[in-house]
Amino acid sequence: MAEPHLSLPVSRDQIRELRVGDTVFLSGEVTATGGLPAHKRMIACLDNQQALPVPVKDALLHLPTMMDERDGRFEVRYVNPTTSTRFASFMPRLIKEFDLRIVGGKGGLDAPCVEAMRDTGCVYVSLLGGGSPILSDAIEAVVQVGWLDLPSHFRLMRLSIRELGPLTVGIDAHGNSLFEQLSSRARERLPEIRRRLDERRESSLHPELK
Amino acid sequence: MIDEALINRVTRELYSAALRKVPDDTKRALARAIEHETSDASKSILRLMLQSALAAESSDRFVCSDSGIPVYLLEIGGAARWQGDIKGAITRGFAQLVETIQPPLLKHVSNPLTNERGYAGKDIPSISVELVDGDHIDITCVPKALGSGRWTQIETFIAPSLADIESFVLDVVLKAGSQHCPPVIVGVGIGGTFDHAAKLATRATYRPIGSINPEPTLALMEERLTEAVNATGFGPMGTGGVTTALGVHVDYAFGHGYTPVAVCFNCWINRRAKARIFNDGRVERIE
């Protein structure tokens, strides 16, 4: 399929057109953080009906950011995705209550998140870990920063991005997860993989070592 | 004579270099993997990895935002002549690097008792020392990020067969699944004591990709384990493909009948930098 260039905000219908394995590029505004404390605080804000320092809407990426502050203005020096699964326990609620269309990071999310994404109409995009030079070039500006008491990569921030990608749709809005599919397939393949290992070992070993 | 000032300088240079340059053996392995991949999607991701590595190198930027835990290995030659506080020189060199490096590092070193974040602390930078032959000191610097490191496991078996050991490696690979920024380098340490097995596994990942294990039994084990790990299908960035590992490196030590087996991972950027410092003060970059 053609590589779609999505401009945020995106509609639920646009998101539902995507399927696992598709490649996309993102432009527009996204919310980003790489920190557990930021996730805990987002949940606390929901619990206590408190306002967030930065809007969490449309897209939430697990994308730690190194930023500089100059004359009260923030400038991104570099970004890179982080492992999403450590935030998995928070994500179903964040996806639903903030009505997110896109979440992302690296490594995927678990089954309860997949279900929340199907219910809400949301996809997970996989960013290239170790792709800092490419991904950082797609950051146009820092729109807003919250929770300045936290280290740079743990803060909650709103970023303006242009052509962030290529990103792989790892979980679609129809309950399909590339990560779950690959994990199941690896488990299914395991007996055959072990048999092949045994076969190669047997054929190479000295008889006394068998 | 090798002095503190020289060690201090090399400490800084190696760390900074390791963050910006994917080792040549790793770039070659990625290029080879592109040939072997079977789908356009997985080929594209490998190409993107190479593109990122080359962009970081040519524009003097970091490949990854996670500068990890500073790990230094010192191999001191028996005929090396040195003076002063070498470990202190490394610790101070790293502290100076944190102050001056551009772009700045993120705070990735944590106090596990408080979760407070910084750049260094008790026992970190991690510095280990080995005695070797020669009239030089080799310093290897490995910025170790735990995005891949967290999937490490160690288990102690009772007189395991090779099949038991290989089966355990596969279990650890399956548990890590898509999450350790594959294609990875898998390190396996067999035998010795608890700490020795972990050290063997870790150091095995430092070995250049494509080098042949001098132990024939292990050379064969590496071949079949690489095939087995790649047959799992997790692929580049864990979104599918036939390259989950760029290599499986195994080392062993004699031990007790209770045999620890350690398995660890380096992500695809496989950061390491190494320099040799001679007695006359010459410094040669090895990796």
State whether A125 and A197 are in the same domain.
no
Give the model's pLDDT for residue A210: 52
State whether A53 and A68 are in the same domain.
yes
By the 10 Å C-beta count (0-12 exposed, 13-18 middle, 19+ buried), B164 is classed as middle
Distance from CA of A67 to the nearest CA of B (A): 9
Give the model's pLDDT for residue A2: 53
State whether A161 and A187 are in the same domain.
no
Q: Give A-chain residues touching B234 at CB under 8 angstroms.
A: 182, 186
Q: Give B-chain residues touching A152 at CB under 8 angstroms.
A: 106-107
ipTM over 0.90: yes
- Residues whose CB falls within 8 Å of the CB of residue A166, separated by 6 or more in sequence, listed in order: A3, A23, A24, A25, B44, B48
Q: Which of B174, B238, B240 sits opposite A187 (nearest CB)?
A: B174
Per DSSP, A42 falls in state H
| pLDDT tens profile A57-114 | 999 999 999 999 888 899 999 999 999 999 999 999 999 999 999 999 999 999 999 9
SS3 B120: coil
On the question of pLDDT at A205 being above 80, the answer is: no
| pLDDT tens profile B239-265 | 999 999 999 999 999 999 899 999 999
For CA atoms B187, B188, B191, B193, the dihedral sign is: positive
Region A5-29: mean pLDDT is 97
What is the distance between the alpha carbons of residues B119 and B115, in angstroms, rounded to a whole number?
13
Q: Give B-chain residues touching A106 at CB under 8 angstroms.
A: 147, 179, 181, 237-238
Give the model's pLDDT for residue B232: 98
- Which residues in chain B land under pLDDT 50? none
Give the model's pLDDT for residue B181: 96
Terminus-to-terminus CA distance in chain B, angstroms? 23
Distance from CA of A172 to the nearest CA of B (A): 13
Q: Which domain holds residue A188?
A: 178-210
By the 10 Å C-beta count (0-12 exposed, 13-18 middle, 19+ buried), A112 is classed as middle
Is the Cβ pair A78, B269 closer than 8 Å?
Answer: no
Taking a C-beta distance cutoff of 8 angstroms, is the pair B51, A134 a contact? Answer: yes
Taking a C-beta distance cutoff of 8 angstroms, is the pair A82, A64 a contact? Answer: yes
Question: What is the residue whose two structure tokens read 């494509």?
Answer: B210
- Residues whose CB falls within 8 Å of the CB of residue B250, separated by 6 or more in sequence, listed in order: B187, B188, B189, B190, B204, B213, B218, B221, B222, B225
Give the model's pLDDT for residue B153: 98
SS3 B78: coil
As given in the structure block, the two tokens for residue B117 are 């974040």
State whether A183 and A171 are in the same domain.
no
What is the distance between the alpha carbons of residues A50 and A38, in angstroms, rounded to a whole number?
14
Tally A–B CB contacts below 8 A: 167
Q: Give B-chain residues touching A183 at CB under 8 angstroms.
A: 174, 177-178
Is the Cβ pair B63, A21 closer than 8 Å?
Answer: no
On the question of pLDDT at A206 being above 70, the answer is: no
State whether A89 and A57 are in the same domain.
yes
Distance from CA of B222 to the nearest CA of A (A): 11
Q: Secondary structure of A130-195 in the HEC alphabet?
A: CCHHHHHCCEEEEEEEECCCCCHHHCEEEEEEEEEEEEEEEECCCCCEHHHHHHHHHHHHHHHHHH
If phi > 0 it is left, if psi is from -120 to 50 it is alpha, else beta; for residue B149 that is alpha
| pLDDT tens profile B109-154 | 999 999 999 999 999 999 999 999 999 999 999 999 888 999 999 9
For CA atoms B143, B211, B52, A170, the dihedral sign is: negative
State whether A92 and A46 are in the same domain.
yes
State whether A37 and A137 are in the same domain.
yes
Is the Cβ pair A168, B237 closer than 8 Å?
Answer: yes
Q: Which of B64, B228, B233 sits opposite A130 (nearest CB)?
A: B64
Distance from CA of B5 to the nearest CA of A (A): 30
Give the model's pLDDT for residue B136: 97
Structural domains counted in chain A: 2
CATH, residue A168: 3.20.130.10
State whether A23 and A71 are in the same domain.
yes
Is the Cβ pair A23, B231 closer than 8 Å?
Answer: no
Region A171-193: mean pLDDT is 97
SS3 B251: strand
Higher pLDDT, A205 or B262: B262
State whether A185 and A100 are in the same domain.
no
Q: Which of B59, B107, B228 sits opposite A151 (nearest CB)?
A: B107
Taking a C-beta distance cutoff of 8 angstroms, is the pair A155, A76 a contact? Answer: no
Q: What percent of chain B has pLDDT over 70?
A: 100
State whether A118 and A195 are in the same domain.
no
On the question of pLDDT at A204 being above 90, the answer is: no
By the 10 Å C-beta count (0-12 exposed, 13-18 middle, 19+ buried), A50 is classed as exposed
Is the Cβ pair A151, B177 closer than 8 Å?
Answer: no
State whether A195 and A160 are in the same domain.
no
As given in the structure block, the two tokens for residue B286 are 């090895």
Give the model's pLDDT for residue A71: 85
Give the model's pLDDT for residue A72: 82
| pLDDT tens profile A133-169 | 999 999 999 999 999 999 999 999 999 999 999 999 9
Q: What are phi and psi of A68, to 5 degrees?
A: -105, 150
CA dihedral B91, B94, B100, B105 (to 10 degrees): -130
State whether A55 and A93 are in the same domain.
yes
Is the Cβ pair B55, A136 closer than 8 Å?
Answer: no
Residue A207 confidence class, pLDDT cut points 50, 70, 90: low
Q: Which of A21, A129, A192 sits opposite B267 (nearest CB)?
A: A129
Is the Cβ pair B181, A78 closer than 8 Å?
Answer: no
What is the distance between the alpha carbons of residues A56 and A102, in angstroms, rounded to a whole number?
11
Is the Cβ pair B179, A136 closer than 8 Å?
Answer: no
Q: Give A-chain residues touching B167 at CB under 8 angstroms.
A: 194, 197
Is the Cβ pair B162, A209 closer than 8 Å?
Answer: yes
Q: Give B-chain residues touching A134 at CB under 8 angstroms.
A: 48, 51-52, 55
Q: Which of A153, A179, A201 sits opposite B224 (nearest CB)?
A: A201
Q: What percent of chain A has pLDDT over 90?
A: 92
Is the Cβ pair B106, A201 closer than 8 Å?
Answer: no
SS3 A120: helix
Give the model's pLDDT for residue A70: 86
Is the Cβ pair A130, B61 closer than 8 Å?
Answer: no
